[in-house]
């Protein structure tokens, strides 16, 4: 599906907000997530949270988003993931990702 004028990128099939818990700060988790997302063509963002979690919004094909959500349980070598919670999100949650995948400020 494209915008009303027939221009622009197709709308993503799936958009989810994910919270990841465990040892996910200070281990390269955000950079790893960004690399994994870019490799799969997933758009969105990732950030640290002050409560110790990592949060991300992922947008793309259902297959790519599902594959990345499954990988989030693994994380980089030094991470110890204990929780991955995904919930539906909308285009407004992409927070101006600019069509790519980026790290944004901690909340």
For the annotated catalytic residues, the residue numbers are: 30, 48
Residue 86 bridge partners (DSSP):
18
Query: Which backbone phi and psi does 58 adopt, to 5 degrees?
Result: -120, 135
DSSP-assigned letters across all residues of 41-100: T-EEEEEE-TTS-EEEEEEE-HHHHHHHHHHTTT-STT-EEEEEEEEE--GGGGTT-TTS
Q: Which residue has the tokens 């297959």?
A: 63
**DSSP for residue 14:** E
């Amino acid at each position: 599906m494209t915008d009303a004028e027939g221009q622009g990128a197709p709308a993503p099939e799936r958009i989810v907000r994910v919270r990841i818990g465990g040892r996910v700060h200070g281990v390269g988790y955000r950079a790893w997530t960004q690399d994994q997302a870019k490799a799969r063509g997933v758009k969105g963002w990732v950030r640290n949270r002050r409560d110790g979690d990592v949060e991300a919004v992922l947008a793309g094909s259902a297959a790519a988003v599902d594959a990345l959500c499954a990988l989030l349980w693994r994380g980089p070598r030094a991470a110890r993931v204990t929780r991955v919670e995904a919930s539906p999100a909308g285009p407004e949650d992409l927070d101006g990702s600019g069509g790519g995948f980026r790290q944004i400020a901690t909340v």
